[in-house]
Amino acid sequence: MAHDRYESPFCTRYASDEMQYVFSADHKFKTWRKLWIALARAEQRQGLPITDAQIAELEAHADDINYDVAEAREKEVRHDVMSHVYAYGVQCPSAKGIIHLGATSCYVGDNTDVIVMREGLRIIRRKLLNVVSLLADFADRYKDMPALAYTHLQPAQLTTVGKRATLWLNELMLDYGELEHRIASLKLLGSKGTTGTQASFVELFDGDSAKIRAVEEDIAREMGFDAVVPVSGQTYSRKVDSMVVGVLAGIAQSASKFSNDLRILQNFKEMEEPFEAHQIGSSAMPYKRNPMRSERITALARYVMTDSLNPAFTAATQWFERTLDDSANKRVAVAEAFLATDAILGIMLNVCDGLVVYPKVVRQRVMKELPFMATENIMMDAVRRGGDRQELHERLREHSMAAARHVKEEGGDNDLIERVCADPAFGLRREEVDAILDPARFTGRSAEQVEEYLRDVVNPVLEANRSLLGERAQLSV
């Protein structure tokens, strides 16, 4: 680690080595060479005078990049692609003349960007599915546990701990659908030439359009794609970057919702994120167990959501067939959106693998509010015993207001039930009221909804992706 210059926290603290490599210079330049080999092989198939020996020479040096030669050359010519064409030619003297034949810089630059984004999205998909798997297990385990639900962050009718987890799950499953669509929709730029007209390939193949199309088809197939974009300027549409980062921003939104909910629940002492044996919560307050992982998710999610504006503005300001104001921005914005989302999901894996629930606190908080929610049930039970509904309704209103004042103004416990039991108008004994106050009677279809959602929505996706599951995360910092 260099201590005398800025280093991105994405590299030193947050993103995985796996995702960092996908966006590394080494991976980029090796992909360039694969694309040059694919181009040469496709051109050979369509009759250009390229020999098997030349292609074999290119393949022999696909991975041993002579960076010193490329870097020295770039200092002279100030062009990264032509510097690497030159360096490749130094290693492959017999193939020197056919490297990059007919192509423009975007042939390697843009096609590599698409390949890299697809690899990054596949990593994101794997991690997202593992988060979904952990939350699905959690939802199933706690599907029956009554818990306070909230509207406006005020106590509302009851839910269950597991049902609430399906709300987090559902947003992630929406993201999964978008992610799958985006991966399936990605297309290579292909070999379109300087302004997208393929004019240089028209010259190479004497105007034979069938051969020019076949070259692109061969390149796409070799690089693992079904198709190339049908039309373009010099570059693929920068809306593609915006759409890809938009998917990542969607995941960030879902992650932020989850982390904020968990931070509030940790304040309520109902749930908390894992806390390691030697972890320090505060430098000043030794007793504290701060939700630092959830806070980090919130922070990184905010970055990704904001970062999604970068490719949107870039897409909106590309003039005609292309301008170069995209390059400096996209190489930062797109890469860091992936690195940050990778970090978010890594933290979520850690958190969801060790979520802690405190059942007694959950129940205690339920029972403090349940008397207010149960007033209609109490009233109906008393009516069945011969009471007057209107009179009972008014008496419940008065008792509820008095109990609320006792809680808010005097700091006492909710004594609504004691007031009702002491009122002869209701004719109810304490054990009869306690039976009414069973929290499970107030959670509606929560448990069934969890079962149905997991069975019909989540489990089929997890089953179809079984080979990707089983990942866990350990935080290094």
**Catalytic residue list:** 152, 282
Distance CA 181, CA 243 (A): 11
- State how far the Cα of 90 lies from the Cα of 323, in Å rounded to an integer: 31
1 in Cβ contact with 7 (< 8 Å): yes
CA distance 65 to 58: 11
Main-chain phi, psi angles of 146, to 5 degrees: -60, 140
- What is the three-class DSSP state of 151? strand
Point out which residues pair with 150 in neighbouring strands: 155
CA distance linking residue 341 with residue 19, whole number of Å: 10
Cα 469 → chain centroid: 16
CB burial string 14-46: b at 16+ within 10 A, e below: bbbeebbebbeeebbbbbbbbbbbbbbbbbbeb
Strand partners, 156: 149
Give the other-Cβ count within 10 Å of 331's Cβ: 14
User: How far apart are alpha carbons 127 and 470 in whole angstroms?
Assistant: 10
Residue 423: both structure tokens together: 């009122």
SS3 sequence, 179-200?
HHHHHHHCCECCCCCCCCCCHH
User: What's the Cα-to-Cα distance from 441 to each of 370, 376, 393, 446, rounded to whole Å?
Assistant: 11, 13, 21, 11
Which SS3 state, helix, strand or coil, does residue 162 take? helix
Integer-rounded Cα Rg, in Å, for the chain is: 31
Q: What is the C-alpha separation between 281 and 57, in angstroms, rounded?
A: 58
CB neighbour list of residue 281: distance below 8 Å, 6 or more residues apart: 275, 287, 288, 289, 290, 292
Q: How many residues does the chain have?
A: 477
Alpha helices in 317-413 (DSSP H): 327-352, 359-373, 375-384, 389-408
CB 219 within 8 A of CB 191: yes
